[in-house]
Amino acid sequence: MNERKPVGQHKPMETSETTNKKGGAKPGKLGRDVQARLGQQLRAMYDDVVNQGVPDRFADLINRLEDNGNKDKH
């Protein structure tokens, strides 16, 4: 399942791992309820957008592309 081929290539990006901020992160240091709380907020933020569904702009785009595809062989 990990064999998919991404378009473009992976490039390394700047890493924050190397710029260890004070204290750094120690895995498991946070309490479970803290983690749960953070996770909940994160999903709430994300889901606000997800729940907006598919804006017309994108449905229109697909339809347009489809029409073009049917007309001329690309």
Partner 1 sequence: MPMDESVRKAILGAVPSLRAFAISLCGNVDRADDLVQETMLRALANIDSFQPGTNMSAWLFTILRNHFRSEYRKRRREVEDTDGHYADSLKSQPEQHGQVEFREFKEALTHLPSDQREALILVGASGFSYEEAANICGCAVGTIKSRVNRARTRLAELLSIDGVDDFGPDEQTRAVLAGGGE
Examine residue 36 and tell whether it contacts partner 1 (CB under 8 A).
Answer: no
Q: Which two tokens stand for residue 17?
A: 């791992």
How far apart (Å, rounded) are the C-alpha atoms in residues 39 and 34? Answer: 9
Examine residue 12 and tell whether it contacts partner 1 (CB under 8 A).
Answer: yes
Spell out where the chain has E strands.
none
How far apart (Å, rounded) are the C-alpha atoms in residues 62 and 70? Answer: 12
How far apart (Å, rounded) are the C-alpha atoms in residues 26 and 5? Answer: 33
Examine residue 18 and tell whether it contacts partner 1 (CB under 8 A).
Answer: no
Restricted to residues 38-67, the positions that interact with partner 1 (CB under 8 A) are: 38-39, 41-55, 57-59, 61-62, 65-66
How far apart are CB 22 and partner 1 at their closest, in Å? 9
Residues that bind partner 1 (CB under 8 A): 1-17, 19, 21, 23-27, 29-31, 33-35, 37-39, 41-55, 57-59, 61-62, 65-66, 68-70, 73-74
